Amino acid sequence: MLNSRLTLVLVTLSALALGACRKKKPVVAVQPDTTTRTAPTNTTPPRQPETTTTPVDNSAETARKIAAAREALLSTIYFEYNMDELRDDSRANLDNKIRILNANPSLRIRISGHCDERGNDEYNIVLGRRRAEAAKRYLTDRGIDASRIETTSFGRERPAVQGSGEEAWAKNRRDEFEITAGGDQLRAP
């Protein structure tokens, strides 16, 4: 038994001695990688859906819509002789203005009432004011803030059409609209 232990010790020492004699590899200092690695990118462009329509110039279309909104907002409404009640066509016109005013909360307008040449100055100023107020009331009753609408009356002082006769008078009994603020930022509804 002593012999087997001695053999084991000799074999172990020999293995250690042979391992110690082996030539060691030189240690090489590894520099850290300073390059940024990114995930591989897909070089294939995304597939575009096929369309059969031609592209529309959005800026031209937007400009057209804004011009149409401005025209609708500034369009005149008319009244019957000696009346301040809104006609059906005037209500439809005002409904278009409501859409524009709702789409443009910073927009402010002035409504000026006008009359034909018949009647005296004082009466026509009062009738013109009632006409402007009728349009304002229609707008405010449908949700437009009254502080956004100013009214005035010119009576018969600023006729749209010169002359005497029903054709001229019908064009002079009117409310005109103008933008007093926010018109430079007008958006189409």
Q: What is the DSSP secondary-structure string of 60-90?
A: HHHHHHHHHHHHHHH--EE--TT--SPPHHH
151, 55 contact by CB (below 8 A): no
β-pairing, 77-78 with 174-181? Answer: antiparallel
- What tens-digit pLDDT sequence spans the chain (189 residues)? 555 665 665 556 565 555 555 555 555 555 555 555 555 555 665 666 555 555 555 788 989 999 999 999 999 999 999 999 999 999 999 999 999 999 999 999 999 999 999 999 999 999 999 999 999 999 999 999 999 999 999 999 999 999 999 999 999 999 999 999 999 899 988
135, 94 contact by CB (below 8 A): yes
| DSSP letter assigned to residue 112 | E
Pick the CATH number of 60-182 from 3.40.605.10, 3.30.1330.60, 3.40.190.10, 3.40.50.620: 3.30.1330.60
Taking residue 163's Cβ as centre, other Cβ atoms within 10 Å add up to: 11
